[in-house]
Structure formats: C-alpha cells, structure tokens
Structure 1
C-alpha cells in the first residue's frame, strides 16, 4: 500500500494546506526524504527535476517550526538556489502549503531593491529563500544574520557550481549556525566540484538517490526533426506551433540574441510569445512570467536560465530550437513538461552541425527518439555521410539512424597492399603467377637482345 501524507503526522494546519493543493500521495522523493529529514539527519539527495523535491524539504522544516515555535529567534531556515526564478517558485510553493499556518517567508535575490529586502530581514521570517550573491552582500554588511539557523538547504547545487557560486556558497556557510541540519539537492552527485561543498556542509550525510538524472522520464515522448539551418528551423517551428496541441510551450535557444531573433520572427507571424533571458531586469522577468502564468501568452522562448527553477503548470510541449550543450541540460529543459504525472512531448530540431552532439546526448542518456517529418518542410540533411575508413556505428548512432530512417552502409575492409596499388594497371598472370612476356617484378630479364646485335 502506498504511503499517504497523513502517515507523517503533520500538524493540522499543514494537512489543510496539503489538501487545498490536492496533495494526497507522496512522490518517491518525498516518501524517502521527509522521514529522514524529520529525524534530523543531514541528507545528500539526487533527484530529477519535477520529482517533487521542493515539498520534500519544505514540509519537514515547516512541521518543526509549527511544533517548536521560537518567537524571539532570527531566520530559522535558509534555502539557497541558483536563480531568481527558482527562488520565487519556492516562495510561491511555501505560501500555498503554508496558507493555514502563521509561518513567514522572505525572498532575497539580485535585481530587487536592497531597501525592501533589508525591511524583509528585519521582520525575521522563519524561512529565507535566496540566491548566493545578494545574500552574501547583506551578510557582509551586517544586514543579514544566520546565527539562529536550524535548517539549511542547497537546491540544485550542481547548477550553482556551474554558475560560479562556489566561493559565495562557502562564504555563506561561514556565517551559518554550525549546529544546523543541512540538506543538499543536486540533479547529479558526480559533479566535479560538489565535494568541495559537501565536505563543509554535511555531517555524516545519508545519501538518497531517486529518479537519477540520466533515467528517462516515463511521461515524456522524445521526438527528432532534422533541419537544414536556422531559417529552415524557423519555418518548421512555426508549423509545429500552429499544428501541435498545447496550453503552454517552452522553446529553448542557446543564446540571448537567438531568443530575441526567434521571438521577433514568431511575433511577426502573430504567435502569442514572450522572451526570457539573463539580460532582463527583475521587473521585466516578473512581467514575462506573469504573462505566461495568466495565459496571455502561450509560448515562452528562453535561454537555459529558464531550464532550472521554472514550474509552470500546463506545459505540454518543449522545443529545442538549438540543441542543448550537454545531456544534463537536455534533461533539465525537457523536464519542464511531463510533470506531476501528466504526459509531455519534447521535440528537438537538429541541423548538420548538431548531429554529433545529438549522438552524444543520445548515448549519455540512453534515449530513444521518434522521427518527425513535416511534409513540405523536409530537410535535405539526412544525417552524416559515411566517412571512408570509419568503424561500425555506435549504439547511439544506430538509434539515431533508426529514428531518421538512415540505412547503415556496411564497411568494406581495405587492405594495405590495395591502397599501395591504387592507380596501377593490373596485368593478367600466367600459371606461375608471372606476367606473360614480362619478368617477375624486381628481376632483370636475361633474354633481351643486346644493344647493337
């Protein structure tokens, strides 16, 4: 029998919040993490995006703060995240789950007014959600204090390291109450820089691995569409947006300029789109996300900053206009759909320069792709041509070839002596293998007439 949230014996105020959000059966990460966190253990958790990990760390800390009030205390829990969008998503999640409690939460991120954030800190919210850079500024100026901290969570720690926050995180740890309980969540536990943080953060941690990042999401269908170049991709994407059925869709590009150009192209074709990238200030980001949440736009074009932390209900399609740079980035992008058990489709548009990267992603994630072809917009590109002397195709290449319908050309073994004789005329040989009327190669003929005779 599956566990229920009632099995955790949460306070009534939390159970009412769970019921209002239709929470009944915990996800696997919630079932494993919540009891261990409630026992006060430090945890090292690997869970795929969309697995429900936010509630897995929010609920135990909220339960503790309700059961053991500390009215004269400073901030009791800190949740460190890599992006402003993720900070706001967690804050919204907390507000919904804690709607029947008196617990308070504050958000500290770059791009917002420092004066407003200092006012928030003076209210001593029980839970603080912050990005490292701005929080460290406030700690160093004495405006923020973490001496009463009981609970510290690092969410998407691998992303924080990739964004260069290692030194900031370590500096923040030096300001925290050393007697705290700590939880670290990461999509992968194999990140090369993770140990530098875990050694300072965790004490005798218990490791929990749920839905490893390289495990295929069971509710997402992965499709592949070959393209001839950027302009061809624009036409194909426009067709897909016109003919696919979805409430909301995310389109990912690798660069800010690419996102802006694609947004202008689609707006010129009367698509309801908005663009999100790292150069937007906080007010503009909030405006863009408000348009998407409200349904005033149905398509968000984003760079990878949106691949982490966005939790937008109703995303049924993810389009990779530009193929992501790694398999992990592919999973984080496509993980924006197929959430909470709902089906989703991820469609990647792949041009000739991206084929090798696609093969690497396929091999790394052990993915299987369905091939898509749009009549009237078929690509001339059919996959890489067979290179002379190449070995057998890799399993990933065979999968991609099968998806695109490309036939494998059997390799013909080439001998070294054949390569040496290229361009030489082959002569017929006699019974002894000697050219009729010619001496064997390397021997001088002795029956030739002498000069002058």
Structure 2
C-alpha cells in the first residue's frame, strides 16, 4: 500500500521516503490501526515480512505525539529480542525511521557502563536481550514503570533458546496497563499461553493463514548432495552460479567448520566469519562491513540466523541439513526479505534425503535438485542417485 494511503504523520512519512520506503507491506498495514488503538496483539508472520517496521511505526507515532518528553525520561517502550544481533538491528531501525526518537540497546558481552549512562540521560525505547535486561532491572538501572508498549519479538526463538522464564520474569516488572505485542514466525504453545496470561482482549493477526508455506514465497529452495570435505569448493561453485555478484550468507553447524571454510584457499580472500568466539565489537564491525559491501561472503554459526536484515543477501547456503524445520526457516529467511527474490541452498549427504522430505512436508516447500553440480566420480554423485529415487520427478540440470 502506498504511504499516502496510511494515516502516518507527515514527519514519519517524510523520513520513510528519505529511507527509500514508499509503500508498506501487508503486515505493516493490517496491524497499524489496531496497535495505534492500544490493543494487545499476537502476530504470526513469515520471516522477512517486515515485522520490525510494523511494530515500530505505531510506537514512533505515539512517542512523537507526546509533547512532554524531558531529559532523564523513563522509556515508554520495551522490546525484547533473543539475540544481540537482532536487538541491535531493531534499535537501528527505530533510529533510521525517526532519529528524534531516543532508542538505546542493552545486551551482554560489552561493558554495562555506557548502557547505564544512556538510560540515565533518558530514552523513549529500550531494546534488549533477556539476560542484560534482567541485570539492569535487578540493579535498578532500568525503570520500566512508565512502559506503555511491550514488544516480544521472535517469541518462538525465545522458547527455543530457553528464555521463557527470563521473559516472564521481565514481564512481571512491567505495569499491568501496558500494551503487549507478541510477534512470531511460528506459533508454539508457549506463545499462546503468554497471550492468555498477559494479554487483554487480544487481537490475533495470522499473516500466514492456511498457506502451508512457512518460508517467504520469494525464495527458491535448492538441495545439493555434497560431502563434508567438498564444502569449500562447492560453495565457490554455488556462489558463481546463484550469487549474482551479491552478498552470500553461509551457515555452518560448528565454529570449527566456520573457521575451516573461511580459511580455505577458495574463500580466504572473500569471506569473513561470525561465531561465538568472535567478540561483540568485532561482530558488529563485521556485520557493518557486510552491509556496506566491503566483503560479500559471511560464514557464520546460527548466532547470525535471526533478525540480521541485510536486504541484498542474494544467496543463503546451509552446509548441513538443519536439525529442525524452524532452524531451516530462520536460516533461509536471511534472503528473499521484504518481497525480494532469493535463493537458499542446503548441502546434504548420504542418508539425509528423508530429512529433506520431512522439511518439505513441514514447511510446504519443494527443493530443486540440480544434476551435475558435483563430479560424477565423487561420493556426492552417488548420493544424488539415491536422492533421485526419493525425488524421481524433480532432478534438473
């Protein structure tokens, strides 16, 4: 929908246009007025569908309408995100859309001093990870008594990472009158229980509906048989074929494999890494360089799988079949964001063909299986022949 058709203030519209945003996506349009009316909502929406802007716009409009914003003011909005990278991304999005709104981000792995200083100066929005938010609440450096809007982003990932107790502990600090927003790509029982326990007259928005496809419909899914020792050379070939000269995000299961691939002669000059042993400061620098195009291949563990919104990621490569379909959704969801087309490639080895079928059935997608990607003499080619028996009608050149 065109921006002129949405009841946004002139100031917000002007800034959105300055950022190159001239229209809004369905989730942003459909939830806007309900959120502006202060109602509690639970939103199920695919990864990459524009959820951050959807919950940020109403918050920004309400803050700008408040004429009594003073130095040292308490935050009126609290956002919880499961990872530091996602929290930073959300904080940047608030600032990008409207710099007049004072937003600060609190997370572990860095000194708490600068965060305390920012909170004392006064902020409108606090975005944080569960552990560091609890630190501030317990130490008395964060006062959430004036919070009017509470947003839980990626609620399903909170559950997967074991943060449910921390989330509920934080909620207990918030005023009962707050507006609650729960945003999730999937809808596990815990999210429904949260809504029942903490929401009032909740409004549900299901942006997926009866469509069984849980990934973005703009993503092409490809599965390639590839042995472990062939990953680096296979990545080079896949990048040449599907990367279109753009950014590529490679996911590995372990830190050891991330370092092994990034140091391979075929990738060493073009790739950088992010994993748990990389300092927070270096992670932020690496992501910024990735966004700005200083390098084009980022090799990472799942630390980067959620919320890293780099719209120009052309290709995602998963070097192994994920253990569950949700992990697949959030890895592949780094491409094909905000209506753009993207390609997601997953490598698999012998015996994993049935795992691919299970992912297909659970997510409502279909893998294309290219023939000829690997040498006919390689063990991977034997696996492809096995895959042909499982997917007899879908082998393609």
Q: What are structure 1's unaligned runs of at least 5 residues?
A: 387-396, 406-453
Distance 1:353 1:306 in 2: 28
Match of residue 394, structure 2, among 403, 407, 415:
403
> Displacement, 1:268?
5.5
Matched position secondary structure for 1:145? coil
Question: What is aligned with 1:198?
Answer: 195
Q: Does structure 2 retain, via aligned residues, the 8 Å contact 1:166–1:197?
A: no
Report what 1:426 is aligned to: none
TM-score by length of 1: 0.81
- Corresponding position of 1:174: 172
Alignment partners' CA distance in 1, 2:25 and 2:237:
36
SS across alignment from 1:352: coil
More relative contact order in 1 or in 2 (CA 8 Å, sep 6+)? 2
**Contact kept in structure 2, 1:351 and 1:381, CA below 8 Å:** no
**Alpha-carbon shift at residue 399 of structure 1 (Å):** 7.0
- Write the deviation string for residues 149-191 of structure 1: whole angstroms up to 9, x where unpaired: 00100000110111111111111111111111110001111x1
For 1:380, the equivalent position in structure 2 comes to 381
Partner of 2:222: 223
Q: 1:319 to 1:375 in 2, by over 3 A?
A: closer
What's the counterpart of residue 81 of structure 1? 81
Tell whether the 8 Å contact from 1:249 to 1:299 is kept in structure 2 after alignment: yes
- Is the contact between residue 271 and residue 299 of structure 2 (CA under 8 Å) also seen in structure 1? yes
Q: Deviations over 1:60-119 (max 9, x none)?
A: 0111111123425411000110011111111111111103xx221000011121110100
8 Å CA contact 2:232–2:267 kept in 1: the answer is no
Report the Cα distance in structure 1 between the residues aligned to 2:109 and 2:353, rounded to whole angstroms.
38
1:207 equivalenced with 2:198 (yes/no)? no
CA contact (8 A) 2:374 2:381 kept: no
Structure 1: how far apart are the matches of 2:347 and 2:148?
47
Partner of residue 126 from structure 1, selected from 102, 124, 128: 124
Cα drift, residue 346 of structure 1: 1.1
The residue number in structure 2 matching 1:445 is none
CA distance in 1, matches of 2:81, 2:139: 21
Structure-2 change in CA distance of 1:376 and 1:226 (3 Å): closer
Contact 1:152 1:180 in 2 (8 A): yes
SS in 1 for 2:316: strand
Shift of 1:197: 2.6
Corresponding residue SS for 1:380: helix
Unmatched 5+ residue regions in structure 2?
none
Distance 2:90 2:175 in 1: 23
CA distance in 2, matches of 1:24, 1:375: 40
Call closer, same or farther: CA 1:76–1:226 in 2, change over 3 Å.
Answer: same
Which of 13, 18, 21 pairs up with 2:19?
Answer: 21
Residue 356 of structure 1, aligned match among 354, 359, 365:
354
Distance 2:363 2:199 in 1: 29
Task: Map 1:14-413 to 2 at 5 A.
Answer: 14-72=12-70, 73-99=73-99, 102-189=100-187, 191-211=188-208, 214-227=213-226, 229-244=227-242, 245-265=244-264, 267=265, 269-374=267-372, 377-378=375-376, 379-382=380-383, 400-404=391-395
Structure whose CA Rg is larger: 1
Distance, in Å, in 2 between the alignment partners of 1:156 and 1:150 is: 20
The 3-state SS of whatever aligns with 2:33 is helix
Q: 1:229-258 CA deviation, whole Å, 9 max, x = no partner?
A: 201233222222344423100111122222
Q: Secondary structure at the match of 1:381?
A: helix
Counterparts of 1:364 and 1:317, CA distance in 2: 22
Following the alignment from structure 1 to structure 2, what is the Cα–Cα distance between the partners of residues 372 and 271? 27
2:241 and 2:221 mapped to 1: Cα distance? 17
Equivalent pairs counted in the alignment come to: 388
Secondary structure at the counterpart of residue 153 of structure 1? strand
The more displaced of 371-380 and 132-141 is 371-380
- Relative to the length of structure 2, the TM-score reads 0.92
Is 1:246–1:317's contact at 8 Å kept on the other side of the alignment? no
* 3-state SS, counterpart of residue 394 of structure 2: helix
1:173 to 1:270, Cα distance in 2 relative to 1, 3 A:
closer
